[in-house]
Structure 1
Amino acid sequence: MYNLIGAGLIVIGAGLGLGNIGGKAMEGIARQPEAASKIQTAMIIIGALLEGLAFGALILGK
């Protein structure tokens, strides 16, 4: 049962983190459109690392 609670917290945390990353990236692009490609690249890298961490925690938590 505790594994399911932990898995739920991991998914919620990853979702909130990805939403925060996306929102802040859009704010940055709105403020400096010329830096859009750099911001998007950084956002994708951070998002991929966050998802990998969440998937790893879910797999190891079983």
Structure 2
Amino acid sequence: MEGNIGDLGQYIGVGLTAIGMGGAAIGVGNVAGNFLAGALRNPSAAAGQTATLFIGMAFAEALGIFSFLVALLLMFAV
């Protein structure tokens, strides 16, 4: 296995950004699960909270996209 320590650092950094993508997936699941729990408790209020659900999912998913962007920058821009 040939290469330098900089390549190794790149690959370790890209692997660590996978934690950010996994955290975003957990966040989206948490938002959806809490919405579902609230909608089952009070079905009449669920329609009013749907926009909040999508905003929360978008913010949580944005963190995963930023993490993916950092991974791509580490792999190909350096």
TM-score (norm 2): 0.68
Unaligned runs of 5+ in 1: none
* Counterpart position of 2:7: none
d(CA) in 2 for partners of 1:4, 1:37: 40
The residue that corresponds to 1:13 in the other structure is 23
Q: Which residue of 2 aligns with 1:49?
A: 59
* Unaligned runs of at least 5 residues, structure 2: 1-10, 74-78
Q: Which 4+ runs in 1 deviate beyond 6 A? A: none
Residue 33 (structure 1) aligns with? 43
**TM, length-normalised to structure 1:** 0.82
Check the 8 A contact 1:28/1:39 in 2, yes or no.
no
Equivalent pair of 2:20/2:63 in contact (CA under 8 Å): no
Q: Give aligned pairs, total.
A: 62
Q: Deviation digits for residues 2-53 of structure 1, max 9, x if unmatched?
A: 2222221011101111111111100000001111122221110011111122
